[in-house]
Amino acid sequence: MAVQTRGTDILADESREHRGRMIELLTKAYWMEIETVMSYISCSINPDGVRAQEIKESLAEDIEEELGHAKLFANRIKELYGVVPGSSSFSAEQNSLQPPAEQTDVVHVIRGVIEAETGAIEHYTSIVDEADGIDWVTQDMVIDILHDEQRHRRLFEGFLREYEAEGLA
Ligand SMILES: [Fe+2]
Ligand SMILES: [Fe+2]
């Protein structure tokens, strides 16, 4: 595949189909980031208890980072001659990040974050694959974002490990 597409100019007329595919993938990524911003706002405010503080602070910092990702995806959509969608085409998917029944249930939040980050890692890995040989700039940008998501997941896996070690998860 990479051989056939060598020298592809993603902005050229004949790359219309490739661009369409990239825009589709980037749009999904954009919505994932927007939903993550919403979820991390609620998860950085709702939890109660001494142990929740570390999680809340960490998520509060991540909001800015996820918002930055959303902007990067939006800008790339524009650069590829696409249109950043309006809010009416948004549909929520992050079931695991809805507030728990009890706001002291920090494990619910940690598991939800791990699931959301895993979803992002899977989708961004597929963008990196599909962009190969077709759109190097998107690929390069998404590799950086993928690195951020791996870092986020690793941090929350560490939080979960602590709860598991104490028999709380
Ligand atoms: Fe992100
Ligand atoms: Fe993330």
Q: 39 C-alpha to center of ligand 1: Å?
A: 12
- Spatial distance between the Cα atoms of 39 and 24, rounded to a whole number of angstroms: 23
CA of 150, nearest ligand number? 2
Q: What is the pTM of this model?
A: 0.94
Which pair of tokens denotes residue 58? 């960490």
Q: 20 C-alpha to center of ligand 2: Å?
A: 25
**Angstrom distances, CA of residue 135 to CA of 23, 85, 145:** 11, 21, 16
- Spatial distance between the Cα atoms of 36 and 134, rounded to a whole number of angstroms: 28
Cα angle value 41/85/61 (rounded, 5°): 20
Q: 121 C-alpha to center of ligand 1: Å?
A: 9
Q: 77 C-alpha to center of ligand 2: Å?
A: 20
Q: 127 C-alpha to center of ligand 2: Å?
A: 16
Digits of tens for pLDDT over the chain (169 positions)? 444 556 789 999 999 999 999 999 999 999 999 999 999 999 999 999 999 999 999 999 999 999 999 999 999 999 999 999 999 999 999 999 999 999 999 999 999 999 999 999 999 999 999 999 999 999 999 999 999 999 999 999 999 999 999 998 8
